Amino acid sequence: MKRQFVIDEFKLGESWRLFKIIGEFVDGVEALHDIGRAVSMFGSARIQPGDPVYKKAETLAGLLAEAGFAVITGGGGGVMEAANKGAAAAGGISIGMNISLPLEQKPNDYANILVEFNYFFIRKVMFVKYAQAYIVLPGGFGTLDEMFEAVTLIQTQRIKPFPVILVGSDYWSGLKRWAETHLRETGRISPGDLDILQIIDDPEEIVAAVKKVVIY
């Protein structure tokens, strides 16, 4: 009888967790459904304001905002802060989708729309759902996770294809070469799959590449 009580209590806890998950989806959709054309930007939370990558993210986000795109980030520090700062300074919609973590992640001060998440997978759905392009600056495991999830969804035709732009040829070229030799040449991906990824360094060229494929 005692064991049955423990099982029932576990089931009840799982049921309430489902309501929390649904609630986060509702909050995300309500906050973002009318933002218009948007770009999701990713990169390391550990990059400091003096870093050239921080400056490039800030400049790029400003150009995107001036071109009429909302800028979506993970809402934290580093590249996320820089992108939110650049978009806000240009008078654009600057969105931070913050994740509650025990370390590192605190919301930055530059998002004029802030959405809080407890679940990574819901947050990633929002990144994809509302973006017309992914722009990926140097980052770590989280950045790679978000980038490869989008590539996989495009590869498997679960979402419409959109630009996935890697910023920084010195940072990303080695990864693309590894994918060419270890994935494409061994048949683990199809010959055209790597075309999903573009490496572009210049902020104005990046904006032009996004505008080229986005339907106004």
- Tens digits of per-residue pLDDT, 13-48? 778 888 899 999 999 999 999 999 999 999 999 999
> Quick one: 182 exposed, middle or buried, by C-beta within 10 A (0-12, 13-18, 19+)?
exposed
Q: Which domain holds residue 197?
A: 34-213
Q: Is residue 29 part of a domain?
A: no
What pLDDT score was predicted for residue 7? 47
Q: Is residue 168 part of a domain?
A: yes
Q: Does a structural domain hold residue 20?
A: no
Is the overall model pTM greater than 0.75, yes or no? yes
| pLDDT at site 2 | 46
Q: Judge whether 17 lies within some domain.
A: no
Per the domain annotation, does 27 fall within a domain?
Answer: no
Residue-level pLDDT at 104: 58
What CATH number is given to the structural domain containing 149? 3.40.50.450
Q: Please identify every stretch of the chain with a pLDDT value under 50, giving residue numbers as ranges.
A: 1-2, 4-7
Q: Report how many domains make up the chain.
A: 1
* pLDDT for res 182: 97
Q: Which of 103, 57, 106 is nearest to 84 (CA)?
A: 57
Average pLDDT, the chain: 92
- What's the confidence (pLDDT) of residue 6? 43
Q: Is residue 15 part of a domain?
A: no
